[in-house]
Amino acid sequence: MQFYLAPMEGITGYIYRNAFYKIYGNIDRYFAPFIMSKKLNQKEIRDILPENNQGMELIPQILANRAEDFLAIAKAIESYGYKKVNLNLGCPSPTVTSRNRGSGFLALPKELDRFLEEIFEACPMEISIKTRIGLEDEEEWEGLLKIYEKYPLEELIVHPRLKTDQYKPGTIHREAYKMAAEKSRHSLCYNGDIKDRETYQEFISDFPDTKKVMLGRGLLKKPWLIKKLKGGTEDPVLYKEELKAFHDELLAGYVDYMSGDQNTLYKMKELWAYLGTSFTNPDKYMKKIRKSQRLSEYKIWTDHLFREQELIL
Ligand SMILES: Cc1cc2nc3c(=O)[nH]c(=O)nc-3n(C[C@H](O)[C@H](O)[C@H](O)COP(=O)(O)O)c2cc1C
């Protein structure tokens, strides 16, 4: 099985990816959060600069619904040496979908088809797609899949939810993924709600032919997850030491990159919303971490947490 890191805007930027690579290093492909401006801004450039992504295979992602925009962004990305790019057809955020981008573009299959025809015709890079299965009805998926079949996708990453499902638990459409697994000629990658050994085992027993999975929130909550899925030793002491090393690496990365405690703390607090769920008795510590206004205070409370509580593996 190959494991991919899902792109997660605001979280899995290059600082996160580098810390992950250094401590865990078990990701086959890293996906950068989406780029949508034709002229890449400084933050977007820094995120994909090869010197900021050494040793890992990084696939930049584009969010666009006009071929002209896609091609301009792809050209800029290519100038940094990339040969592959991913198209985002999954983002469910209203600010994106209201302008018919991300999963909003799935509502316009004819326009989507024309867009794909143009970009596959003109773009010299290999293009993969990360998609949801429709806007509001599972019936939409068959038609979308037929469109994808027309083009030489580098791979097709399927998050089998509708736009209207957002991220609600229990909304994975297994039948839709099954249709892709049975009918698609593309190399498939599955994405969605793999968060522990049980959900992973269930997936591989249902879909033994899928050889690639993309993990998002499951890894944010349990950065050791892939090790566990690969059947590595489950030593809680080792896992905690590694997690502390990962945390410290990430913190150092943000301190280096951000100006002032507040910005660093904002980033770290965002992560704790996920990581906190993997500790025993987290509430008291999460409250203190959330309230921390200075790094010194934050460090005291994270040290307490690591010392006094255990991981829920
Ligand atoms: C905070 C956050 C930001 C995300 N940003 C992106 C993004 O930039 N591009 C994208 O294709 N998907 C994005 N996603 C969706 C994830 O890549 C992934 O498809 C989704 O979380 C389902 O996988 P999971 O259940 O393993 O988390 C984001 C998800 C979250 C929670």
User: In the chain, pLDDT over 90 holds for what percent of residues?
Assistant: 98
Ligand 1, residues 4, 5, 9: which to mutate, most atoms within 8 A of Cβ?
9
Q: Render pLDDT for 152-167 as a digit per residue (tens, 0 to 9).
A: 999 999 999 999 999 9
Question: For residue 232, is pLDDT > 90?
Answer: no
Q: Does the beta carbon of 90 lie inside 6 Å of ligand 1?
A: yes
Q: Does the beta carbon of 189 lie inside 6 Å of ligand 1?
A: no
* 80: its two tokens: 């940094």
Mark whether 91 is an active-site residue: yes
Mean pLDDT estimate for the chain: 97
Q: How confident is the model at residue 233 (pLDDT cuts 50, 70, 90)?
A: confident
Tell how far the Cα of 37 is from the centroid of ligand 1, in angstroms. 19
Say which of 85, 87, 91, 219 is annotated catalytic: 91
Pairing of strands 84-89, 29-35: unpaired
Taking residues 101-121, report their average pLDDT.
Answer: 98
Q: Does the beta carbon of 191 lie inside 6 Å of ligand 1?
A: yes
What's the pLDDT score for residue 230? 95
* 72: its two tokens: 């301009």
Q: Render pLDDT for 25-81 as a digit per residue (tens, 0 to 9).
A: 999 999 999 999 999 999 999 999 999 999 999 999 999 999 999 999 999 999 999
Taking residues 98-107, report their average pLDDT.
Answer: 97
Q: Does the beta carbon of 130 lie inside 6 Å of ligand 1?
A: yes
Q: Render pLDDT for 262-288 as a digit per residue (tens, 0 to 9).
A: 999 999 999 999 999 999 999 999 999
Give whole-number Cα distances, 126 to 65, 129, 195, in Å: 18, 10, 30
What's the pLDDT score for residue 80? 98
Q: CB 13: neighbour CB atoms within 10 A?
A: 23
Tell how far the Cα of 31 is from the centroid of ligand 1, in angstroms. 10
What's the pLDDT score for residue 186? 98
User: In the chain, pLDDT over 70 holds for what percent of residues?
Assistant: 100
What's the pLDDT score for residue 234? 82
Which residues are known binding-site members for FMN?
Answer: 61, 130, 159, 216-217
Considering only CA atoms, which residue is closest to atom 30 of ligand 1? 8
Burial bucket for residue 41 (CB in 10 Å: 0-12, 13-18, 19+): exposed
Considering only CA atoms, which residue is closest to atom 21 of ligand 1? 216
